[in-house]
Amino acid sequence: MTHPSPEFSHLFDLPLAERLQLVEDLWDSIAGERANEPVPEPVLIELRERKARYDANPSSGVRWDEAQRRLRES
């Protein structure tokens, strides 16, 4: 296991539930900041192309639960 810099080493002594909560809180703070960033143009282009393909043939998509099942089985 990699240990953090000395100023954070005490966090490894926290109980598991508290460490998990800390990770969740940190992740939420990062996600909140990232939500305000603009989406890169190449990503927007790809999303628009995928949406156009789906709009042209809606039956080509699969439900999220089906996609997850397929991923687990692959």
Provide the residue-wise pLDDT of the chain in tens; the chain has 74 residues: 676 788 999 999 999 999 999 999 999 999 888 878 899 999 999 999 999 999 999 988 889 999 999 999 98
Dist. CA 66–CA 72, nearest whole Å: 10
Q: What is the pLDDT of residue 21?
A: 97
Q: Which amino acid is at 55?
A: D
Question: What does the domain layout of the chain look like in residue ranges?
Answer: 41-73
Instruction: Return the pLDDT at 37.
Output: 87
Contact 60, 54 (CB under 8 A): yes
State pTM to two decimals.
Answer: 0.47
